[in-house]
């Protein structure tokens, strides 16, 4: 796990090469909507991509993490099915629906049933390196999302330079990022973690939550501002000293949201002294979000180390899949 997290910047650059070499059919279109279907470590790349692309996207991009797709999917839809193993049953079911509805389907996978179906049906597909936990291969699945969106005319080509620049920054700042992650981890061990961010960067919070769940073997939750101000903030009446708050922040967060964050901190402080702000770094939105993702990955790894647990072990998830496989 340590080596895989360490390799994140290199993986981003390798993913760019894979995307450049990918052979996709004529784009067709125009498309009325894009739906990304995928779960867990396979699905988070789509959510991050949708978040980063929303300002320039030519049509709505929605992420679905389930067995089904929204009713509006039709022959004018682009569906990106992402399963690292190629065997995620929910994603395969959603892909079947997309084909039945006449949508244009593109797959991102390392193999399995998804790749077999894609080849048999002549679907566009991009193959990424296999053999590792899906959550450690985020760079590959994330970057391919942008190549697909660009090929089909949803976004421009500026993402390539932005990702390359971000990768170089992460390499250059590696030791500082690891140090910041270790310092953050020291403050979180033994606490129940709550993660907050502006709504525009919710995917980064989701990624951190997922990593803490799987690597650190810890329950935690996340929410976004301003939405949490209309519900969860009231729930802080039940807060206590064993909760640790991490707030992911960006200098470009909406001014009113930044005001809300400052007021929220004062409310949290009535119940816990463990409030930690993590400010992003980087010259672009790509760099700032990838910085927080990499820092969060390291923090989840260090947390596992301090607990003495194996960050790669996911026996309970495998047990669930085994039980489901028994019922056809």
pLDDT digits (tens, 9 = 90+) for 50-99: 999 999 999 999 999 999 999 999 999 999 999 999 999 999 999 999 99
Quick one: 2-164 is in which CATH superfamily? Glucose-6-phosphate isomerase like protein; domain 1 (3.40.50.10490)
Mean pLDDT, the chain, rounded, equals 95
The 10 Å Cβ neighbour count of residue 327 is 5
Residue 241 has pLDDT above 90, yes or no: yes
Residues near 60 by beta carbon (within 8 Å), at least 6 away in sequence:
33, 34
Q: For 173-307, CATH number?
A: 3.40.50.10490
Q: Is 67 exposed, middle or buried (0-12, 13-18, 19+ CB in 10 A)?
A: middle
- pLDDT confidence of 313, banded at 50, 70, 90? confident
On whether the CB atoms of residues 119 and 95 are closer than 8 A, the answer is no
**Encoding tokens for residue 327?**
């019922």
Quote the pLDDT of residue 131: 86
Is the pTM here over 0.85, yes or no? yes
On whether the CB atoms of residues 285 and 316 are closer than 8 A, the answer is no
pLDDT digits (tens, 9 = 90+) for 249-300: 999 999 999 999 999 999 999 999 999 999 999 999 999 999 999 999 999 9
The 10 Å Cβ neighbour count of residue 190 is 10
Q: Which residues are catalytic?
A: 214, 230, 321
- CA separation for the pair 215, 313 (Å, rounded): 8
pLDDT top residue among 275 and 328:
275
Quote the pLDDT of residue 66: 94
Q: Is the peptide bond before 289 cis (omega within 30 degrees of 0)?
A: no
Quote the pLDDT of residue 320: 74
pLDDT digits (tens, 9 = 90+) for 93-152: 999 999 999 999 999 999 999 999 999 999 999 999 998 888 999 999 999 999 999 999
**Largest Cα–Cα distance in the chain?**
60
Where along the chain do its domains lie?
A: 2-164, 173-307
């Amino acid at each position: 796990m340590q080596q895989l997290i360490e390799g994140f910047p290199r993986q981003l650059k390798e993913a760019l090469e894979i995307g450049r070499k990918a052979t996709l059919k004529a784009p067709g279109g125009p498309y009325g909507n894009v739906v990304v279907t995928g779960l867990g470590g396979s699905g988070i790349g789509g959510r991050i991509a949708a978040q980063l692309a929303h300002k320039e996207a030519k049509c709505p991009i929605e992420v679905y993490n389930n067995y089904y797709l929204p009713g509006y999917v039709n022959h004018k839809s682009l569906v990106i099915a992402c399963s690292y193993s190629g065997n995620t049953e929910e994603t395969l079911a959603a892909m079947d629906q997309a084909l039945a509805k006449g949508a244009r389907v593109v797959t991102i996978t390392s193999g399995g049933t998804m790749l077999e179906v894609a080849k048999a049906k002549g679907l566009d597909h991009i193959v990424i390196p296999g053999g590792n936990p899906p959550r450690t291969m985020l760079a590959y699945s994330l970057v391919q999302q942008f190549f697909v969106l660009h090929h089909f005319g949803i976004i421009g080509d500026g993402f390539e330079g932005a990702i390359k620049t971000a990768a170089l920054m992460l390499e250059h700042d590696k030791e500082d990022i690891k140090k910041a992650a270790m310092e953050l981890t020291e403050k979180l061990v033994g606490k129940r973690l709550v993660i907050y961010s502006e709504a525009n960067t919710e995917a980064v919070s989701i990624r951190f939550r997922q990593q803490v769940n799987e690597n650190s073997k810890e329950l935690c939750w996340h929410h976004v501002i301003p939405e949490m101000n209309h519900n969860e903030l009231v729930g802080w009446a039940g807060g206590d000293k064993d909760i640790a708050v991490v707030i992911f922040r960006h200098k470009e967060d909406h001014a009113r949201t930044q005001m809300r964050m400052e007021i929220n901190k004062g409310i949290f402080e009535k119940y816990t002294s463990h409030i930690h702000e993590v400010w992003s770094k980087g010259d672009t939105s790509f760099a700032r979000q990838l910085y927080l993702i990499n820092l969060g990955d390291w923090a989840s790894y260090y947390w596992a180390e301090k607990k003495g647990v194996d960050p790669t072990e996911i026996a309970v998830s495998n047990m669930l899949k085994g039980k489901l496989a028994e019922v056809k």
